[in-house]
Amino acid sequence: MLSEKIEKIKNMIFNDELTWSRQSGVPFILVAINETEQLYLFPKLEELQRDGEIQGYSVEIVNIEKLLYELLLKDENGDLSEIYEFEQEDFQEFHMEIQNTLLRLLYEWILQRAEQLGQSGRIIFTRVGSIAPHFRLIQLLSKLENKVEIPLCFFVPGTVTSNRFMMLDDIDISGSRAFYL
């Protein structure tokens, strides 16, 4: 099943037509993966990256959890102690502020990175389930609509049925116009 999804992704993102994105108007692909597929994901993504580079595409694989940590650390000048203290003092306010901060940092990074990669760029995100406690994936995708032109592919733990995409089998992310696999 994972191999079929990877082949479908290759067919969708390794061309300059991107006709599939014209249907929804956004170059986003959400790929549901289960626990077993997660075990084999990284080697398959490395293969996808090599194939893309052979065809002239710059494919970047991003662990979204690690990226968010690095972005937050940079935003806080390498010291997270104030964030830890803020969390202890007022968790409700902290939670709202960290949501906004992480969403902003990721959004800005994607815009900047997509521009740096140019039209031949492709960004693949893993560990997408890790954002669920902080903000909704739909929020990010909505902000990115009409802002990026290169394909963004998100590997999301969850299941897809004929009309619903359930992230972590709990959070409905069907409201996005993204292409689902």
> What value does the mean pLDDT of the chain take?
87
Cα–Cα distance list, 89 to 15, 69, 78, 92, 155 (Å): 51, 21, 21, 9, 35
Q: What's the pTM value of the predicted model, to 2 decimals? A: 0.89
State how many domains the chain has: 1
Length of the chain: 181
Give the per-residue pLDDT at 131. Answer: 85
Burial of 109 (0-12, 13-18, 19+ CB in 10 A): middle
| 155-170 pLDDT per residue, tens | 988 787 777 777 677 7
At residue 170, the 3 state secondary structure works out as coil
Q: Which of 74, 63, 59, 12 is nearest to 38 (CA)?
A: 63
| 45-99 pLDDT per residue, tens | 999 999 999 999 999 999 999 999 999 999 989 888 888 888 888 888 888 888 9
Give the per-residue pLDDT at 172. Answer: 67
Structure tokens at 82: 């104030």
Cα–Cα distance list, 14 to 1, 101, 103, 153 (Å): 20, 33, 28, 12
Query: Domain residues for 67?
Result: 2-180
* CATH number of the domain encompassing residue 132: 3.40.50
